[in-house]
C-alpha cells in the first residue's frame, strides 16, 4: 500500500481515531504508545499483546519510519550533534547538551529558516520547507535511542534549532502534545520551550493553545537596530511583540515566565546604553535575559562581544532588577553552538543565490 501513515505524526487523540477506524478498541492507543515511547519498540511484530491480525494490518497501512542519521559528532565538552537526512538533499541538525542536573535536546522545526536573521548561520542557509510532526518527534526518538544505551536521558526539549517554530504551528503544537503526554515523553510544561523571533499573531495562538515555556529572540532593545538584526521586526515591531508577551504571561492558570535571548555582538548591541534601554523595555515583565556570546560562522560580518563588555552589560541589567545569565558557549568545535546550526538546505527563497552574486 502506498502512502502508509507514519504513526509518529499522530497525537494520542489522532492515534485513538486511527485505531478506531481499524475496528480496534480505544485501549489499543495506550498499548501502542507504551510500546513505542516507553519500550522503544518500533517493530509491529514485537508488539505481542496485539493480535497477529492487527500486527499484519499495521504493517500494511502504517509505518514507524525514522530518517537516517548522516553523521554524529561529539564535542570536547560532551555536546553531541546529529545531522539527519530528510531526503531531497535536505538535512537538519539537532544537538544534545549535557549538564550536571539536566540533558537538553535542541531540535529543529524547519529545513532552513525564512527569517534571515543576520547573525544566524541557519538564516543564511535559506529555507526549503516545514518539518512534519513525525520529523520533529523523530529527532527526540533518535536522540533517545542513542542516549538510553549510554544511561543518559533527555530532561528538556527546546525548539531552538533550525527554523522558526511559529511558522510551522500545527506540526510544532502536535509535537508538543506528544512531548507533554505521559503516554509518550511525559515532560513537564516547564521543560519544553518554544523559541520565536516574534511571529506575533502565532504568539497569541500559542499562548492559548500550548502550555509550554516561551523564549523570545530579542537581540535589540529598539526597532531601528532590531529591524536590521531580526528582519521580522519590520512586520511586527517591538511594541506589538511586547503586547503579545504580556498576553502570554496572563494566559492560562499557571504562573508563566519568558526567557529573552540576546546575542552579544561586538560594537553593535552591547553598550551600556543598549543595556539601559533593554532594562526599561522589560520593566514590570516576569522575565529573565539570556546573554549569548555570538558564535562566529563563515562569511559573517559580526564579532563576539568582549568578556568585560558582556559583564558590564549584565551588571547594568542586574542594577535595574532584571534577572540575567550569560550562556556558556558549548560545542563550538563541532559548530554546534547557538546560531551555528546550518544542516544542508536546498534553498527555495533565492537568498543563497542572491548572496553569491554580491
* Residues marked as catalytic: 93, 338
> Within its chain, how far is the Cα of 255 from the centroid?
22
* Residues 166, 194 contacting (CB under 8 angstroms): yes
Cell for 172?
Answer: 510544532
Alpha-carbon span 99 to 213, nearest angstrom:
19
268: nearest Cα among 301, 316, 312:
301
167 touches 202 (CB < 8 A):
yes
Distance between CA atoms of residues 168 and 123, nearest Å: 16
Contacts 24+ apart (CB under 8 A), 47-56: 54/22, 54/24, 54/28
Cβ atoms of 292 and 324 closer than 8 Å: no
H-helix or E-strand spanning residue 172: helix 169-180
Amino acid at each position: 500500500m502506498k502512502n502508509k501513515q507514519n504513526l509518529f505524526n499522530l497525537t494520542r487523540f489522532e492515534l485513538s481515531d486511527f485505531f478506531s477506524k481499524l475496528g480496534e478498541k480505544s485501549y489499543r492507543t495506550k498499548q501502542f504508545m507504551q510500546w513505542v515511547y516507553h519500550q522503544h519498540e518500533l517493530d509491529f511484530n514485537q508488539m505481542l499483546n496485539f493480535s497477529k491480525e492487527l500486527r499484519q494490518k499495521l504493517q500494511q497501512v502504517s509505518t514507524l519510519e525514522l530518517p537516517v542519521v548522516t553523521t554524529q559528532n561529539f564535542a570536547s565538552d560532551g555536546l553531541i550533534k546529529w545531522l539527519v537526512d530528510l531526503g531531497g538533499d535536505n538535512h537538519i541538525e539537532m544537538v544534545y547538551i549535557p549538564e550536571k542536573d539536566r540533558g537538553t535536546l535542541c531540535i529543529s522545526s524547519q529545513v532552513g529558516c525564512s527569517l534571515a536573521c543576520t547573525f544566524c548561520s541557519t538564516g543564511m542557509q535559506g529555507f526549503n520547507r516545514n518539518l512534519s510532526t513525525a520529523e520533529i518527534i523523530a529527532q527526540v526518538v533518535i536522540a533517545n535511542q542513542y542516549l538510553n544505551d549510554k544511561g543518559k536521558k533527555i530532561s528538556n526539549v527546546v525548539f531552538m534549532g533550525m527554523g522558526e517554530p511559529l511558522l510551522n504551528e500545527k506540526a510544532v503544537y502536535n509535537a508538543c502534545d506528544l512531548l507533554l503526554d505521559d503516554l509518550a515523553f511525559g515532560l513537564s510544561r516547564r521543560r519544553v520551550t518554544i523559541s520565536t523571533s516574534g511571529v506575533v499573531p502565532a504568539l497569541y495562538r500559542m499562548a492559548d493553545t500550548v502550555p509550554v515555556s516561551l523564549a523570545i529572540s530579542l537581540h535589540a532593545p529598539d526597532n531601528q537596530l532590531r529591524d536590521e538584526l531580526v528582519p521580522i521586526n519590520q512586520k511586527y515591531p517591538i511594541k506589538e511583540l511586547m503586547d503579545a508577551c504580556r498576553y502570554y504571561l496572563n494566559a492560562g492558570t499557571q504562573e508563566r515566565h519568558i526567557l529573552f535571548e540576546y546575542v552579544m555582538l561586538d560594537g553593535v548591541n552591547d553598550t551600556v546604553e543598549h543595556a539601559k534601554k533593554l532594562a526599561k523595555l522589560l520593566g514590570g515583565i516576569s522575565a529573565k535575559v539570556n546573554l549569548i556570546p555570538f558564535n562566529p560562522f563563515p562569511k559573517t560580518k559580526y564579532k563576539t562581544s568582549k568578556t568585560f563588555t558582556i559583564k558590564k552589560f549584565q551588571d547594568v541589567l542586574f542594577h535595574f532588577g532584571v534577572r540575567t545569565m550569560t550562556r556558556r558557549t558549548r560545542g563550538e568545535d563541532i559548530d554546534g553552538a547557538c546560531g551555528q546550526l546550518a544542516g544542508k538546505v536546498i534553498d527555495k527563497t533565492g537568498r543563497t543565490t542572491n548572496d553569491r552574486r554580491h
